[in-house]
Structure 1
């Protein structure tokens, strides 16, 4: 029985245990390879996640920068529009003031002309009334000549 056991152990070790142990080693290597692959995949996923987070941070920063630039541009446009509106308003006001001054000067000139015409008419009527008699005319001429001599 011992001999049979030893022969069986010898045959099994020569033909069975080698392929079984080799099969177990191959299986162990495959499992180790799968574990290594899983570890690499996990590391790759962590790296991709980190890259994605960086991209998200960069995208948010770019979005914030674009929004800030757009707001600044809008503020500049509003300020420019205000300045143009103020300048246009000042120009219109100055134009209106100039028109008022011009109309005022024209009205004053017209009034002066009318006053001068009215004064001449009044003077003419007064002179006609006073110069109706000959002695008053001679007295007026004498006074005018006397005044003119004093001026020279």
Structure 2
């Protein structure tokens, strides 16, 4: 097979010259801005990575701080709940003591009232019994002393008893 195109030395020379010129133009005008934009892009990516790492550290610190605050809040809540429970127990105990004291006072008052009523009832029974005894004795004496001879005998017997004693 014969070659389709065979380049000559002049063509190769001009191609090399044009390539060199394009290379110089690109080096002078295109590579510096391209390299500068690549450098800028690389710097911005590196800066963003540093900021992301810094933000990550700050988030970890905030998270640790939040956990610490939550722990402290839970401890404070537990302490307050314990104090409230103790206060409630104290109030309940005080109420029980007050109720017991009031109950004891009421029982003592009731006992005193019962004793007073009992004494009054006994005094009334004694008075009634005495009155009945007097009434019965009076009726008996009236019957027995209806005549004067009975009265004289009773007086004589009392006088004998008095002289003997």
Is the pair's TM-score, using the shorter chain for normalization, greater than 0.5?
yes
The corresponding residue for 1:45 is: 59
The corresponding residue for 2:105 is: 91
Larger radius of gyration: 2
* 1:52-106 deviations in Å (ceiling 9; x for gaps): 1112112222222222222223222322222222222222222222221111111
The corresponding residue for 1:117 is: 131
Unaligned runs of 5+ in 2: 1-12
The more displaced of 107-116 and 21-30 is 21-30
Alignment TM-score, normalising by the size of structure 1: 0.78
After TM superposition, give the deviation of residue 113 of structure 1 in Å.
Answer: 0.5
After TM superposition, give the deviation of residue 16 of structure 1 in Å.
Answer: 4.2
Match of 1:22 among 6, 14, 36: 36
Q: Distance in 2 between matches of 1:76 and 1:38?
A: 56
Higher relative contact order (CA 8 A, sep 6+): 1
Q: Distance in 1 between matches of 2:156 and 2:147?
A: 15
Q: Distance in 2 between matches of 1:150 and 1:33?
A: 142
The more displaced of 78-87 and 14-23 is 14-23
How many residue pairs align between the two structures? 151
Unaligned runs of 5+ in 1: none
Q: CA RMSD in A?
A: 2.7
